[in-house]
Amino acid sequence: MTPPTLVIRRALAADAPAIERLYRQLVSHPQVSVRPDRLAALANDAGSVVLVADRSGEVCGTLLLCLCADVMFADQPFAVIENIVVDEACRGLGIGGHLLAHAEARCRDAGCSKIMLTSAASRTRAHRWFDRQGFDGEAKRGFVKYRRHFAEAA
């Protein structure tokens, strides 16, 4: 039997159902909706990319990588990784590490000063994994404000 092949690639519009299935493993929010047209639009975005881990034709992992323009270090951007998830049935196979390594190579090529990511405070197992991948959970403190808490326009 041939071992499965793993390819990290940019998400295609046709990957929308698989990515949505993965996001539903990450969060239980009823409004999770991955649209093919949105993935197609991001295919032409130089600053953002949705990556997928394709294991022998099946999408088994994903992450969103955004390069953010900055002025602090001349023209160096910084990066944000969000929505990283590997299918529950494929965890422990190194897929997440491959996704992060691919994202990090893109950041290195873009000259990024740093990569930041956020993770729900309750996901302590994921936090230990991020530590093993070289992310420092003690270096900064992240804050989030969801739309439902945005101030109403005056």
The ranges assigned to domains in the chain are 6-113
Assessment of whether the complete model's pTM goes beyond 0.85: yes
Cβ-proximal residues to 151 (8 Å cutoff; 6+ apart), any chain: none
pLDDT of residue 141: 87
pLDDT of residue 32: 96
Q: What is the pLDDT along the chain (154 residues), one digit of tens a residue?
A: 667 899 999 999 999 999 999 999 999 999 999 999 999 999 889 999 999 999 999 999 999 999 999 999 999 999 999 999 999 999 999 999 999 999 999 999 999 999 999 898 899 999 999 999 999 999 988 888 988 899 887 6
Shortest CA distance to 66 belongs to which of 14, 13, 107?
107
**CA–CA separation, 26 vs 4, rounded Å?**
24
For the sheet with 115-117, list strands across it.
Answer: 6-10, 48-55, 58-68, 78-86, 115-117
**CA–CA separation, 8 vs 62, rounded Å?**
9
pLDDT of residue 2: 65
Backbone angles phi, psi at 99, to 5 degrees: -60, -50
Helix or strand run (H / E) with residue 6: strand 6-10
- 6-113 under CATH 3.40.630.30, yes or no: yes
Could you give the C-alpha distances from 151 to 91, 117, 146, 147, 154, in angstroms and in order? 39, 25, 11, 9, 9
pLDDT of residue 51: 98
Dmax (CA) of the chain: 65
pLDDT of residue 54: 97
Q: Which two tokens stand for residue 125?
A: 């197992």
